[in-house]
Structure 1
Amino acid sequence: MDVTHEHIVWWLESVGGNRAGQLAHRTSIRAFYGWAFASGRVYENPSQERSLRSSARPLAPAWEAEIRSFRTYLRGIGRSEATVSLYRERLRRFAADHASAGPFEITLDDLVEWMARATWSAEYRRGNRATLRVFYQWAVDSGRTPDSPARRLPVVKAGQVRPRPVQDDEYESALRRARDSDRLALRLAAEVGLRRAEVATVHSRDITGTPGEWTLLVHGKGDKERLLPLPESIARSLRLLPEGYAFPGQINGHVSPRYLGKRISALLPTGVTMHALRHRFATRAHEHAGDILLVQQMLGHASPATTQRYVLVSDARLRSLVEAVSQ
């Protein structure tokens, strides 16, 4: 009889023993079947976890409880709701893919194997790595486990990302088809350079100034804040809204960034996301200012190297530069 993943799970449950013994058994089985698969002795590795993401089944109670506690911790240290939701989503995805193991039975091999998925972009892989490291360091600090399996996760290099700004005709078409609230979200992303989570959390109390000199306090990534000047027409639209969040919803009063992103992306061509509007802002801002550090400040990036990945230099500008130098 061929050994299946279910057989392995059943056997591990039946042998009992303490946590260290369970981990030793599991590690040995994984090593054996990893070798057998790599050497062609079996056509499928039964020790690998089966993804449950397509299933409606809830997570194991141990995972649910720890993710809930971790979420409380993140809120307790002042992380934004956007950050809390993102971490929770990533952890739930990992937990669903490791249903047979508890959160503190996970090994470095489990993490590396999960991170090695060929279909992931470098940025997506980097985000998952960061989440796992924060989660397991919290587990160590709170006495839930003596060591973090994520501590030795290899560093993921940033990928080569080509800027993908929304084209002017695509943007204008989206504005024409959008309802009022979506039109405002489009403009905040494309004309002020906000991320979807920053758009989702725009609040009436964050708008200050006087006519012609309106300013928006932006609640950025990593709980960093920055002040941005607002175009008069956008400020006027925001100030006409009722007090509170500009985009009301169920996440502590505001819309979910993910839901907002899907809604705005639906107005753009297939395959183009809301984030491409931010690329549009970066590209146009650089064309006008010619100052990457100024664009970096506007976007709220920690490094100009990140900002450069948002700015698309047109062929016409490159050709014009070459012609000017050659004269």
Structure 2
Amino acid sequence: MTAEEAVQKFLEWMATEKRASPLTIDAYRADLARFLGFMSEHLDGLPDMAGLARVSLRDFRAWLAQEQARSAASRMRQSTPDRAARTRARRVSAVRSFFRYLARRQGVENPAIALLATPRSKKPLPRPLSVTDAKAVPEDIAELAHTPMARQRDGALFLLLYGCGLRISEALNLNIADLGTLISSGVLRICGKGNKERLVPVLPAVQQALEAWRKQHPSPAPESPLFPGVRGGRLQAGVAQKAMREWRALAGLPDHVTPHALRHSFATHLMEGGADLRIIQELLGHASLSTTQRYTLADEARLLDVWSRAHPRAQKTAQPREGTRD
């Protein structure tokens, strides 16, 4: 078996047994192609299975050094340091997962990969919208739509994103049949990352908007997408993102205001209202509590910013007291 054939078998295993998303599969395919391309030049030829077992820690570090050099060149043009580090970390993860697969499924072991350090990156804190802006999104974006159907659809979609804290992909993957649990019990069954299901309670205002949209939906078939595009197929995420870009430009809001920012807003506003962190974790479908705890750090950063701007003792330039000289 060649190294390229091993990569293909690994990607098939990721898709079928690990149920990795198509985006993850595509990213791993590109990352492993870069890795094998480097090793082909570095080792004067594409290694076979035995050659993969002999790749040394020095070879792995040489590959990572080249990735870092490429990231530095790319950063000069557009990328941020944290984004470049996250990309390198993902590529190391792809290569490490590949070699773990070779050891478990193909009998090809290489202990050197375990000694390769993963590049560290600073995870950005969530940047939510204000309560006022988040509440304005559904109605304002709906007003920008070009047809009555699109207005009803977009209003329901963006209200669902903020009201339930869904990822855009989770909302767009819903079908009409998924409203069955909403009507009977007031919850939606959401299929999240890794095909993990969770039940999300739906606020009355969101439920009313979804039921109103259901009555205007162009297709009666239960298997039809809940949010269709103009041609009847499933609405693409790029369409929703474009609608929000147009709205934020008119509203004068920064670039971080995206559909995913509504998910951040959902979690942040719940936390500010006193919701338990574990409950927020379940609602968002986070596998780890540490991911949810980022909202605590974001809130602390916001409070510190308010304090530094408002407290007299926090001012950078002290004002002279009355009766004293400058």
Under TM normalisation by the shorter chain, which class is it?
A: 0.5 to 0.7
Specify the alignment match of 2:161 in structure 1: 189
Aligned partner (choices 92, 98, 101) of residue 135 of structure 1: 98
Specify the alignment match of 2:271 in structure 1: 286
**Structure 1 residue 193, shift from structure 2 partner:** 0.8
Specify the alignment match of 1:298 in structure 2: 283
Q: Helix, strand or coil: the match of 1:266? A: helix
Compare the two structures and name the one with the higher helix fraction: 2
TM-score by length of 1: 0.61
Q: Helix, strand or coil: the match of 2:295? A: coil
Specify the alignment match of 2:12 in structure 1: 72
**Structure 1 residue 89, shift from structure 2 partner:** 2.4
Mark the runs of 5 or more structure 1 residues left unpaired by the alignment: 1-60
Is 1:153 the counterpart of 2:120? The answer is no
Q: Helix, strand or coil: the match of 2:114? A: coil
The CA RMSD measured in Å over matched residues stands at 4.0
Alignment partners' CA distance in 2, 1:210 and 1:219: 15
Q: Helix, strand or coil: the match of 2:190? A: strand
Aligned partner (choices 201, 207, 211) of residue 179 of structure 2: 207
Change (3 A) 1:300 1:133: same
Q: Helix, strand or coil: the match of 1:164? A: coil
**Structure 1 residue 120, shift from structure 2 partner:** 4.0
Aligned partner (choices 171, 194, 211) of residue 222 of structure 1: 194
Alignment partners' CA distance in 2, 1:144 and 1:255: 44
Deviation per CA, 1:212-262: give whole Å up to 9, x if none.
84221111123322110123134315644442333468xxx85666x4675
Number of corresponding residues? 254
* 2:31–2:91 Cα contact (<8 Å) kept: no
**Structure 1 residue 294, shift from structure 2 partner:** 1.6
* 2:162–2:262 Cα contact (<8 Å) kept: yes
Matching of residues 24-43 of structure 1 within 5 Å: none
Specify the alignment match of 2:133 in structure 1: 169
State the AA in 2 paired with 1:246: L
Aligned partner (choices 113, 116, 136) of residue 65 of structure 2: 113
**Structure 1 residue 159, shift from structure 2 partner:** 2.0
**Structure 1 residue 155, shift from structure 2 partner:** 4.0
Q: Helix, strand or coil: the match of 1:222? A: helix
Mark the runs of 5 or more structure 2 residues left unpaired by the alignment: 41-45, 73-80, 312-326
Q: Helix, strand or coil: the match of 1:108? A: helix
Specify the alignment match of 1:84 in structure 2: 22
* 1:108–1:152 Cα contact (<8 Å) kept: no
* 1:193–1:282 Cα contact (<8 Å) kept: yes
Alignment partners' CA distance in 2, 1:103 and 1:84: 27
Alignment partners' CA distance in 2, 1:176 and 1:103: 58
Specify the alignment match of 1:198 in structure 2: 170
> Percent sequence identity over matched residues?
23
**Structure 1 residue 108, shift from structure 2 partner:** 1.6
> Structure 1 stretches (4+) deviating beyond 6 angstroms?
316-319
Please identify, of 208-217 and 296-305, the stretch whose mean Cα deviation from structure 2 is larger: 208-217
**Structure 1 residue 277, shift from structure 2 partner:** 1.6
TM-score by length of 2: 0.61
Please identify, of 194-203 and 277-286, the stretch whose mean Cα deviation from structure 2 is larger: 194-203
State the AA in 2 paired with 1:271: D
Specify the alignment match of 1:29 in structure 2: none
Q: Helix, strand or coil: the match of 2:93? A: helix
